[in-house]
Amino acid sequence: EHHAYLRLMLDLARDGERRFDVVHNNSLHHLPVAMAPALRLPVVTTLHTPPTPWLESAVQAQERCPVTFTAVSAHTAKAWHATAPGARVIRNGIDTRLWSPGPGGPYLVWSGRLVPEKGAHLAAEAARKAGWPLRMAGPVGDRQYFADRVEPLLGDGIEYVGHLDRRVLVRLVGGAAAALVTPCWDEPYGLVVAEALACGTPVCGFERGALGEIVTPDCGRLAPADDSAALADLVHETVRLDRRAARERAEHFCSLDTMAEQYTAIYEELAP
């Protein structure tokens, strides 16, 4: 990976100016930032994660870093403020044509990677306390976690339906009365929130990371972090929310078009 980025940056330094107007870096590697001064064209870097030591060093090692930074949420921009104080917030967008509205239905849904930081076990606990069936979908990224924390909660309406392709997942999410979103860490953004809203499915989640930027009272409810009992108490409010309001939130705030327009404006501003 290191050599691949090194070759790329040397190539761009040699003749990138003839081929491109702007370089947009979405990687987490330090070299595109560290070597940006060698390029004779503007570099945009999007911050997708909390601060990482290597990337922080790449910025701080330069007297004046020439990179224009964006962040996927205000939460992420704040986390990077000491290193990249001018980062502009451009939130991730999803294709609202592919994530289409569904009718809702008699169950809750949880989707994502089954790893400790995503908190699927807390979603199962909340669904059971609320008296609602739950269907969980996603790849098992941590088999020990799944065996120890998730499998013991399956049954009696709590079901793991597997790692689904997008079309099947859209039907599953759109067919749910509400989506549970239970991060056990501060999510830099939260694509599953945007995907649920695009399907017209209100969100019931934890107030962590950037979730509070996406979820409004019209389209969801947020409980204190890690509190499955408080989350369960909010389920009955969430399932009564207007599905049209959820969809409208996605169209105006989380769409691919909104994201693309904001990035295009930066490109036009920076391009020589």
Predicted confidence at residue 272, as pLDDT, reads 78
Domain 2-93+256-270, what fold?
Rossmann fold (3.40.50)
Predicted confidence at residue 179, as pLDDT, reads 98
Distance CA 128, CA 112 (A): 19
Q: Which residues of the chain have pLDDT under 70?
A: none
Predicted confidence at residue 233, as pLDDT, reads 98
Cβ contacts of 260 within 8 Å, gap of 6 or more: 93
Q: Which amino acid is it at 238?
A: T
Quick: pLDDT tens for 233-245.
999 999 999 999 9
pTM: 0.93
Predicted confidence at residue 41, as pLDDT, reads 94
Predicted confidence at residue 21, as pLDDT, reads 96
CATH number of 108-253: 3.40.50.2000
* CATH 3.40.50.2000 residue window(s) in the chain: 2-93+256-270, 108-253
Distance CA 214, CA 251 (A): 12
Cβ contacts of 97 within 8 Å, gap of 6 or more: none
Say whether 205 sits in a helix, a strand or coil: strand
Quick: pLDDT tens for 128-180.
999 999 999 999 999 999 999 999 999 999 999 999 999 999 999 999 999 99
Cβ contacts of 172 within 8 Å, gap of 6 or more: 109, 111, 135, 137, 161, 164
Q: Which amino acid is it at 214?
A: I
Cβ proximity of 40 and 271 under 8 Å: no
Nearest to 197 by CA among 144, 142, 238: 238
Average pLDDT over the chain, rounded to an integer = 96
Q: Edge-to-edge strand order for the sheet containing 68-71?
A: 23-25, 43-47, 68-71, 88-89
Cβ contacts of 2 within 8 Å, gap of 6 or more: 29, 31
